[in-house]
Every structure is written in structure tokens, then in C-alpha cells.
Structure 1
Amino acid sequence: MQYQDRKKIFSARDVVVKFNLRGKVLTAVRKASLDLYEGETLAIVGESGSGKSVFTKSFIGMLDKNGYMESGSLALDGQEYPGTQSEKEWLNIRGKKIAMVFQDPMTSLNPVKTVGQQIREVITWHFKTDKETAKQEAIELLRLVGIPEPEQRYKQYPHQFSGGMRQRVVIATAIACKPRILICDEPTTALDVTVQAQILQLIKELKDEFGMSVIYITHDLGVVAHVADRVAVELAMLPTARVANESWNTHGVIIEVASLDEAPALANALAAEHVE
């Protein structure tokens, strides 16, 4: 099935994000647009500083305090929602409908709380369940993401886990509310190659099991070639239309470079036809 035949579940149109920085205003994202379709994996690629992470953080109200979405529109299942709203309003979207997995799991996990407590709190906050029910659901989530002996691991702290296992915990927390969309911001960068492959496979399996759509933010073309149905290129050098080209990719390496930072002209190379 071509992506155009699927239901469009999310769209961003002409998004502009700015930051107040030392008395000046910095434009980090300039008129960026994209669509996301049901069940697909979309990779957003671009060189460092092109605004990939900032763009997607604007979808769930996670910009830094000095940042704001100045203009543009966001829509989930055809219903527009403001990019500027209260934290209470954002909580109806963040986690429940759109969740995010970050690059470094130690910045996502609280070092003084057990991993089980952190997952349980997400469940009790969003679903108002009792602690015991939430605990059992948290243990099941740990089992689902491949944590061995989840009943024992539930009681342990983040520093007692390896990097790969911590990222599995972060993923378990992200999917606790069964979101429609999972945004993965460089989820394997801090991991060794073997663990990277395991995490990518885990995300694919969870995507299929829960019927999620996934957005990967990356500059690693190996990851793109492995996971993406479609690619959106975000270019820092363009003054407008920051997501400039969308092209298909399903199998094989797009171009023989290690990262987009080493290939400024990659946007042209990504204009290749869809590989069946």
C-alpha cells in the first residue's frame, strides 16, 4: 500500500519556531511542513543544527523555556491544536497521543527513583489506576520491551542498568499510554552497534504490535536505510521551506556516506525513486 492510500494522522504546516537568546531572537525552524500517515515510519534527516529535534518537540510542547512556536499549524487526526497552550492542555497530547524517546536515556530517567516507579507514575497519572494495577502493568511493559526478570528489575534504579537496557526502559515508559505516534530522537546514538540493531528491531516490533506511526530523527543513513518508509530532509541552509524534499526509501543504503554532516548535497541524492 502506498502511503497516499493510508489515513493521514498528523500534519504540520509552515511551522516557525524561535528562541529568545541573550536579547536577540533566533529562528530555529523556518516554515517547516510534513505529513505522517497511519502505520508508517518517517525519517527526518538533516545536518546538525538544521532544527530536526526542535521541530518535533514543538509537536508536544517540549521546547525549552526560551523557545516558542511563533506560527504554523499542527493537526492530529484532522483536528488542529495550538502550538502554544498550557502545560495541562499539553498533557492531553504528550504521552497519550504522541510520545518521544530521546537520545540519552539518563536524561529521561530520574536517577533517584526506581524504573518501576517511573513507569507506574505515568500509568497512574494518565489512567488514574490504583498503584497495584499500575505496578503490574509496568512489570508487563518491562517484559514487553525485553527486560529480563522484570519483577526484580522493577525495583532497581537506572544506574543499575546498561545503556541498552536503560533505553528499553525509556521506550517502555513512552508506550505506557499506547500513543498513536512515537517520535524517536537519535534513539541509538549512545549505544554500541549490536545494541543499536536490537533497539531498532524492538521499536519496529512495538510499532507493528500497537499500530503506531513512528518518526525517527537522525543523521545516520544506516538507520534510515534500515527503518524508514519515507524520508523528509531538513536543510539548515535553506531560508524557507525547511523540510524541502520528501522521497521514498525502503531497502538499501541511500548514499555511501556515514552521516549527513559529511554530505551537504545529500538532499539531491535523496530525490531517488522509491525502491520496491
Structure 2
Amino acid sequence: MDVRTDLFSLGMTLWFLMEGRAPESGSSAEIAASRLNRENYAARLPANLPLPFREVLGRLLEKDRKNRFATAADVFTALNACAAALGFRRARDYTDPAAALGWEDAEATESGALDFTKLEPAELESVEAGLSSQYTIVARINEDFTGLNYVAEEVQKKGTMSILHVLHPMFLRDESALERFRVHIAQLMRVDVAEIVRPKAIKRYSDYVAVISEKPEGIDLLSVLRTEGTVPLVEAAPLLEKIADVCDRVCAARLPGAQLAPARIFVERSNGGLSKVQIRLCPRFLAVSEAPELAR
């Protein structure tokens, strides 16, 4: 397919993100007929869009694909000009392979980066008691390949909440897999990025083995999006910029295989809206087969 067809799809996605609905409704035939017989979608863009963004989106949505952007690099250049006009920082150019090697913060980080492939496995502390002796389970939140995740309250410190990753019993029977997992926990413990939620310990209780992490303040981003429905561009762009910056620093630190999802991104709301929130990111725990490959 012509890349300009994909760019039209990108324009439609941006429209949906702003409006919470598609510009057309009806059957495929009705939508096709409307596109042929009515003016460009670009002419029907919301009137309150900032002009620089309106111009970029308009070119993405041009009816005649010859008038759309021809390459991803063209889109990137236009989006950077748009970002500059709206007061956002210039994005890193991922369309240029050479540019990925030139970012200043990556160079600064890599010079003193840890070699994550040479870390010793995290210590597996033994506790001569059941898990319930130290934690009261409050809620199950999600699941990883290696176990279940819970919010729990410390028995000795009422009100102090943690996230417990309780390992699947079958996983514990594979000693080599468990050792690789402990190496991954050691990697997460050592990464020097303040916004990443790092494990505090991995403990073997008499009934379970659990990875213990602090629970961030606030609510997860997925719940926020479900409540909000749609988020204005001026709110979403600064939030996405913060998340992208954290991901850049995690990559620059050479942490292998950090995987993120909206349910793992916590935001602490403020009076300034989503654009002013503080974020904390909880990486997924890797599947046993993934960790050794990504660490190479």
C-alpha cells in the first residue's frame, strides 16, 4: 500500500482522539459515498483547533492522496514545526537512523550506564512465616506472565500500601527460569530513573514467593481515560511528552525489556489538569523466555 494511505489512517486516528468519534457514521458504502460527494475532511475539522495543528491534520486528511504527505519524514518535519509553534520541545527524529545516536541525554547516560547483563540475581530473602503475616491483600489488579499482581497493606504499618507480584507455583519449579527472573529484578532495582517504580525485595514466604514494590500515589492512567472519555490535545500532549521522556531515559540506561501499559502508568492529579500531573511507571515483569533474549 502507498504510505500516503497509512498517513490518512493516522489523520483519522488523531481526529478520533480529539473528538471521541469518527468524522462519518453509517455503513462502509455510505461512508465511501459521503467521502466522494462531500468536501475534504480537512474542511470539516473542529473550528477550535490551533492553526499549526489544523494545517498538519488537514494535509493528513486530504481527499486526493497526492496532496498528502509523501513520507513519514515529511510528517515528522511538519509535526516538529507544529510543536515548536505551540510551545512544545522538538521531538527526537526516529525516522533518521543516524539521529538516534546523537541525542545528548543518551550520550550522557550511556557513558556511565550499567552493564545490565552482568548483574548478579537479586537476593531471595526467606521469611519463616506466611505472606499474610506481613501483608493484607486489598485487591488484585492485573497479571503478568510470571504471576499475579495485588495491592496490599502492610500489617505492621497500617495505611502503607505496596504492590505484590506473587509468582505462579509452576514457575517456581524451574530453577533456571527463576534465576533469570531474579536477574531481571536486579536490573529493575538498579535502574536510575526516578519515575520508574522499582522492586524493593523478592521474598520467599512459607506459602508464596513475592516481589514487593511500593505503590505509587494517585490512580492509573487507564482508569483516568475511562472516566474522561476524551482528553483535549493541550492536556494530552504534555502528558505524553513526560511519558516519552521517561521511556527515552529507560532506553538510554540500557534496561532490557521494560514494557509499559496504561494500567501501569500512575498519575497524581493536580488542579492544573492532566498536563500538570506527576507520573510513575510500573514495568511489566517479563515472561521467562523474554528476559534472557532481551538481556543479550
TM-score, normalising length from structure 2?
0.23
TM-score, normalising length from structure 1?
0.25
- Structure possessing the higher relative contact order (Cα contacts under 8 Å, 6 or more residues apart): 1
Is the radius of gyration larger for structure 1 or structure 2? Answer: 2
